[in-house]
Structure 1
Amino acid sequence: MGIKLIKIAAVYFVIGVLLGMYMSISHSYTYSSIHAHINLLGWASLALAGIVYYLFPAAGESAAGKVHFWLHNIGLPIMMIGLFLLMSGTESVEPVVAVGGVLVTLGILAFLYNVLANVREGARR
């Protein structure tokens, strides 16, 4: 799971940077909240989780690690696409943002459980 998370984090990093470049070039910062969420919840959080899972293989190989991976990576695109549409004026998609946010939150709670259950001194590679 660690390597998968690091690789998908790199994809989110590129998306976040490209969105930042677009906003800078166009001088339109309407999507800055999306840019921030992609960089924090996509790039930074997933890269750090990937490093944790790599350093502590029991956490990376656990069911909680897989649940975290899937909930986070299903929820984040749903939330970001919904937020993009919401910021573009489609107010009816607000529940979509909420669903994506709940999925990401549940994934992060699975990460917390996983760290508490499987990350121990002496368990590193």
Structure 2
Amino acid sequence: MSVRFIKAAVIYFLIGTILGLVMGSTQAFEYTSVHAHINLVGWASLAIIGLIYKAYPELGDAKLARIQFWLHNVGLPMLIVSMVIFTTDSHEVGIPFAVLGGLLIIVSVILMTVNVFKRLRS
């Protein structure tokens, strides 16, 4: 699973970097929260998770890691879409995406926490 997490992280890094360049060149700074979440919850978090799972393969081999991967990578795009929708002041449309996407990411993080405390031994 470590490779999947790292590859997904690199995709978010590419998207976040391109978005940052577009934002800067067009002065479209209303997408700052989108840019930040892509880079932090996508690139940085997934890269760190991938490296942890590479260092401790028993964690990455667990079923929890596979479920975590999919929850995170379904939830984050939903959260990103909600933030883009929020820039159009369509909060009633964006809120369900934000709630569901955020919940999927939180459950993903909880699964990783359970995985680490259940399997990682000193």
Structure 1 residues 42-63: Cα deviation after superposition (integer angstroms, max 9, x where no partner): 0000000001111111100101
Using the alignment, how far apart are the partners of 1:62 and 1:45 within structure 2?
19
- Please give the residue correspondences for 1:1-125 in structure 2 after superposition, counting only pairs within 5 Å: 1-92=1-92, 93-121=94-122
Match for 1:81: what amino acid?
V
> What SS does the aligned partner of 2:30 have?
coil
After TM superposition, give the deviation of residue 95 of structure 1 in Å.
1.6
Partner amino acid for 2:39?
Answer: N
Gap regions ≥5 residues in structure 1: none
Deviates more, 1:77-86 or 1:1-10: 77-86
Query: What TM-score do you get using the length of structure 1 for normalisation?
Result: 0.92
- Relative to the length of structure 2, the TM-score reads 0.95
**Structure 1 consecutive aligned stretches of length 4 or more whose deviation exceeds 3 Å:** none
- CA–CA separation in structure 2 for the residues paired with 1:76 and 1:56: 24
In percent, how many aligned pairs have the same letter? Answer: 36
How far apart, in 1, do the equivalents of 2:99 and 2:9 lie?
22
Kindly provide the CA deviation profile for residues 59-95 of structure 1, in whole angstroms up to 9, marking residues without a partner as x: 0010111111011011000111111111222222212
8 Å contact 1:56–1:118 — kept in the other structure? no
